[in-house]
Structures are given as structure tokens and as C-alpha cells.
Amino acid sequence: YSIQYKLLPLIVIIILVLITIIYNYYRVLTAKIIVLTKPNTQVEVYSETHISDLIISINGKLIDDKLVNTNKVGVHEETFSFINDDKIKVSYTFKVKVVDTTKPIIGVPSSYTVIKGYDKDLSQEFFCGDNYDNEPNCRVEGDYNVNEIGSYDITYKATDKSKNEVSQKFTLNVI
């Protein structure tokens, strides 16, 4: 009997610890989470957007106002932690749509002159770049003939993978 009485305080402590763990687990499971994010949560690719920029209201306080991952276009999940009004640390996950709405950039003069019989790809002669798409579709549109002397009013266009488009008219002079 003496061994059982000596273990009794240890057993009581273990039971109290287990009750505390179960109680805290239950509190977290039933914690009130009220988060209202902005509707159609959409951000620009490569923008510096914080979690707090996308939240309208929250029942508590953010622990870490981290940056949203905006390095890739598409829909992905963001998770953050906060301390709710009951002083319980909880997590919340929501979807963010990262979009590219920036048009490509082109550099085209108002007129460009080539010698009759020009045999290079005219679309490669001008600057064409994009903030997200490494290979935007850059092209010359319009009717022209590099084997016939004359002036041609044509257009240089660039379209990125997000369907953003820019164009610039110019005169092609064949001499």
C-alpha cells in the first residue's frame, strides 16, 4: 500500500495535466473565428501586399502582418495567425488571386527605315518587354512589302500571357 500512496500525487498531477491539455485543445477547436476579407481578393503580381491589406475586419489582433506571396499569377491560399478576442491563438486560411494587369512595354519610333530587300524579322528590331511574361508575343501588323520602295503605315503590337496588349502605329519606309 505504501507504493500506491506515494504514486497518488504523481497520478493526480498527470490527470490535471491531461485535463488542462484537453481543455486547451477544446478551446482552440471551438474558438470563435470571425474574419471578413475583401470581396474578390485580387492583387497585382509582384505587389507588396500585406495580409492586413486584404482584411476588412477580424475578431482579434494579427500576430504577424506578413506579405502575401505575389510572385506567381493564379489562385493560392494564404494562412495567417491571430489572437482572437478570447485570447486564443487561431489560424485562418483564405484564397488570394494574383493577377497581371500590366501591359507590356514597347519602344517603337514614329518611323523606321529599311533598305529594299530587307531580310530580317522586323518584329525583332524594336524593344518589347513585360513585367511578368519573359516572352511576350511581339509582332508587326499591317500590309507592307520590303521588296517594294514606299511608305507603309503599320502597327507594332505586344501581348503577354495574361492577354494584356499594347500597340503603337509607325511608318515603315522602304528605300
Per-residue pLDDT of the chain (175 residues; tens, 9 = 90+): 566 667 778 888 999 999 988 887 887 777 788 888 888 889 999 999 999 999 999 999 999 899 999 999 999 999 999 999 888 888 899 999 999 999 999 999 999 999 999 999 999 999 999 999 999 999 999 999 999 999 999 999 999 999 999 999 999 999 9
Q: Please tell me the distance from the alpha carbon of residue 149 to that of residue 151, in angstroms, as a whole number.
A: 7
Alpha-carbon separation of residue 115 from 100, 120, 172 (angstroms): 39, 11, 11
The closest of 138, 135, 133, 141 to 162, measured between CA atoms, is 133
Q: Scanning the structure block, which residue is given the C-alpha cell 518587354?
A: 129
Residue type at 71 in one-letter notation: N
Q: Please tell me the distance from the alpha carbon of residue 72 to that of residue 47, in angstroms, as a whole number.
A: 11
Q: Please tell me the distance from the alpha carbon of residue 27 to that of residue 21, in angstroms, as a whole number.
A: 10
What local confidence, expressed as pLDDT, does residue 25 receive?
A: 80
**What predicted TM-score, i.e. pTM, was given to this entire model?**
0.73
